[in-house]
Structure 1
């Protein structure tokens, strides 16, 4: 084996190693970039917060904006549709008091740090509104499907059990 063969072999090995290192670094950078703009929606039950406000709240605690693709509502385990005004109207027709609501449908966005009440009462009183806390804490379930503005992720947010 002469010196030219050894030099050529070493140069080829160095080039292959460099290509491998560049590929690994590019993949790591892609993962980092994805996570640096990843939204994370959380749904939580809130009781007597901000001067008596009580209800279901959705927050974007992630690092990027979230785009809602779909919402699904169940009342007492029975699917009733998406979280929009017609569904809310039909569900709340026989409730003792009509709470405020924020509709979710495909295309609604949640910027980083955004917080909205999906349904809430501003003047919650334990004696008069026990039915409402029972509703948001156990009977009403809203699932939100969303994705990042930058990536198609098919993520989901559901309220935690109380």
Structure 2
């Protein structure tokens, strides 16, 4: 085997290896970019005597969350998607008025966002016991969302204890 053939074979092997590394690098870069804008929605209940209390939505991820859909259930029955009409139905029959922040489908929740979906400005255990019962045992909220890339089918769920 001549030296020219050995050099040519080595050049082909190096070129193929270089192409493989480039393809792998592009894949890893795309995955990194997707993760660098991944939203993470969380729903938490906070009941604090004498302070603002309720169900709070946080986006603790690095990117905005695009709301795909939402479902709200009370006592296992679907009330609707989380909009003003649904919030009004959830609040019906309570002895006090809960403040509500609602959103629509395709709404974007920015990174770092924090807001109470349902809240009382000052919780008092006596008169607000039905509210605590609703938030602790009866209410379920499910939010389906995606990043701007789309197709991930992320979910945030607030469920009874």
Contact kept, 8 Å, 1:144 with 1:157, in 2: the verdict is yes
What's the offset of the Cα at 1:133? 1.2
**Alignment partner, residue 92 of structure 1:** 91
Per mean C-alpha deviation after superposition, the further-off stretch among 80-89 and 7-16 is 80-89
- Name structure 1 gaps, 5 residues minimum: none
* Partner SS state of residue 107, structure 1: coil
**Alignment partner, residue 31 of structure 2:** 31
Contact kept, 8 Å, 2:39 with 2:64, in 1: the verdict is yes
* Partner SS state of residue 105, structure 1: coil
What's the offset of the Cα at 1:146? 0.8
Superposition pairs of residues 48-63 of structure 1, within 5 angstroms: 48=48, 52-63=51-62
Matched positions, count: 161
What's the offset of the Cα at 1:106? 0.5
- Name structure 2 gaps, 5 residues minimum: none
**Alignment partner, residue 100 of structure 2:** 101
Superposition pairs of residues 8-157 of structure 1, within 5 angstroms: 8-48=8-48, 52-157=51-156
User: Alignment RMSD, CA only?
Assistant: 1.5
Provide the rounded CA distance (Å) in 1 between the counterparts of 2:62 and 2:69.
Answer: 21
- List structure 1 segments (4+ residues) > 4 angstroms apart after TM superposition: none
* Partner SS state of residue 38, structure 2: coil
